[in-house]
Amino acid sequence: MAAFARAAQDGADGFELDVRLTHDGVPVVIHDATLQRTGLCEGVVSEMTSKELCRSSVGDWFNQAHPQLARPEYSREVVPTLDQVMRLFKVQHAHDRSAIYIEMKADKGGFDSALPLSVVELIVQHDLLGKAVVVSFDLKAIAQIKTIEPSVRTGALFEPRRSVAKVVSGRPLIAAALDCGADEILLHRLIATRRLVDLAAERDLRSVVWTVDDAKWLGRAERLGIHALITNDPAAMTGMGSGYAQTRPR
């Protein structure tokens, strides 16, 4: 929650976050499948209850890894629920054109079909249909979102793990995004070519590029017509006078 608050303070237009389902079926905001890295302890998110996770410290690791940025209050940070983050988002971005990008994470054993339903229910409950974008590398999960509630905006995630031929042509990525009903295509910066962005625009797909920490991307985004940039450093990006930045707290 401290990372989200800092992002708003630094001028980000919104949040990008990762969500997983707990053992008792509650969507919580955490990137990793375990607490080993950010919790400095053993624990698998899908095997823990939301109450257990909401008592799990996830700030001490940051204080230890970045002593020059450490703050005592970070040690009180715990794994938040998606509901809590949405409430904060609404307070910070109630009257602007902000967005909250929600990446659904899958475990090694596969995707929990209950997660898309839980995410949609919270989006509707918090009246965020115009601001929330649900994204995933698992395109079947994106299709499921559209089946549950067609008005929820969705995005197909792609990273540079494909053959050179496919990345150069761009068409298989665009086709895959369209097939699952995505409204946006989220491209790793290494595959965000002009051709791919143009092809997406021709099919009414907004292009979003992740993860971008170089301010030179601001000019490139304007030239290519990129909808948004996802960054680890919104302060550096917005300091250049652009409103493109989204934040990705880790």
Using a pLDDT cut of 70, give the percent of the chain over it.
Answer: 92
Residue 166, in any domain of the structure? yes
- 3-class DSSP string for the chain: CHHHHHHHHCCCCEEEEEEEECCCCCEEECCCCECCCCCCCCCEHHHCCHHHHCCCECCHHHHHHCCCCCCHHHHHCECCEHHHHHHHHHHHCCCCCCEEEEEECCECCECCCHHHHHHHHHHHHCCCCCCEEEEECCHHHHHHHHHHCCCCEEEEEECCCCCHHHHHHCHHHHHHHHHCCCCEEEEEHHHCCHHHHHHHHHCCCEEEEECCCCCHHHHHHHHHCCCEEEECCHHHHHCCCCCCEEECCC
Q: Does any domain span residue 13?
A: yes
CA angle 89, 93, 99 (to 5 degrees): 75
Number of domains in the chain: 1
What average pLDDT does range 138-167 have in this prediction? 87
Q: Say what the pLDDT of residue 248 is.
A: 57
Tell whether 38 is covered by a domain: no
Whether residue 36 lies inside any domain: the answer is: no
In a domain, 37, yes or no: no
Q: Output the domain CATH number for residue 95.
A: 3.20.20.190
Q: Is 98 within a domain?
A: yes
Per-residue pLDDT band at 167 (split at 50, 70, 90): low
Q: Give domain status of residue 10, yes or no.
A: yes
74-132 residue pLDDT tens? 999 999 999 999 999 998 887 778 999 999 998 877 778 899 999 999 999 999 999 99
Is there a domain that residue 50 lies in?
Answer: no
Tell me the residue range of the domain where 192 lies.
2-31+81-247
For 212-237, how does the pLDDT look when each residue is reduced to its tens digit (9 = 90+)? 999 999 999 999 999 999 999 999 98
**Per-residue model confidence as pLDDT tens digits over 85-99:** 999 999 888 777 899
